[in-house]
Structure formats: structure tokens, C-alpha cells
């Protein structure tokens, strides 16, 4: 079961802007690479770290909002799921 859980993380990690710039990916996969959680987090961390290259935007709401939306979404999904799982164990 554990190897099945690592596959999505591996796919998200390899298809993110953390390894190579978006322009090097095929055009048909740009929307997925640009909008998936790891890419959004990487872009936000680069902005917060003060990266001054041309491809990193300054820290603004349009840069930080997707990352915060993913975090809120994961929290709203995972907290109830963990409550359900933990209540079944008792």
C-alpha cells in the first residue's frame, strides 16, 4: 500500500517548477505543471526568499493566493478525514 501512496507525490514532484522552469515542459502540460500544489508552493517560497531573477514575481496576493488556497483546501479535507479515521479506531 505504501508504494501506491508515494506515486502521486513523485508525479507532482517531477512535474513541478521546482526541478526545471515551466518553459521546458511541453506546452500541453503547462496548465497542470503551473497550477499543481508543489509548483505553487515553490513559487511562493522563491518570492518569500527574495529571489531577484526575472521569472520570480514579488510577494503579492496574486503570487501567494494559490498557495494559501491549496493549504486551506488540504486542511479542510484532511482534518475531517483524520477525525473520521481516528474516531473509527476507538
pLDDT in tens, 61-70: 888 898 899 9
Q: Please report the pLDDT score of residue 75 as a whole number.
A: 95
Q: Please report the pLDDT score of residue 6 as a whole number.
A: 83
Domain that holds residue 40: 2-89
CA distance 46 to 81: 31
CA quadruple 30, 10, 2, 77: dihedral sign? negative
pLDDT in tens, 7-31: 888 888 889 988 888 899 999 999 9
Q: How many domains does the chain have?
A: 1
Indicate whether this model's pTM tops 0.75. Answer: no
Nearest Cα to Cα of residue 42 among 72, 12, 10: 12
Dihedral class, residue 89 (left if φ above 0, else alpha if ψ from -120 to 50, else beta): alpha
pLDDT in tens, 41-58: 888 888 888 877 777 777
Amino acid at each position: 500500500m505504501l508504494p501506491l501512496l508515494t506515486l502521486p507525490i513523485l508525479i507532482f514532484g517531477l512535474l513541478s517548477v521546482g526541478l526545471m522552469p515551466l518553459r521546458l515542459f511541453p506546452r500541453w502540460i503547462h496548465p497542470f505543471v503551473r497550477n499543481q500544489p508543489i509548483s505553487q508552493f515553490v513559487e511562493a517560497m522563491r518570492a518569500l526568499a527574495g529571489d531577484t531573477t526575472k521569472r520570480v514575481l514579488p510577494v503579492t496576493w496574486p503570487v501567494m493566493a494559490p498557495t494559501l488556497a491549496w493549504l486551506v483546501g488540504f486542511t479542510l479535507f484532511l482534518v475531517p478525514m483524520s477525525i473520521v479515521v481516528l474516531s473509527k479506531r476507538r
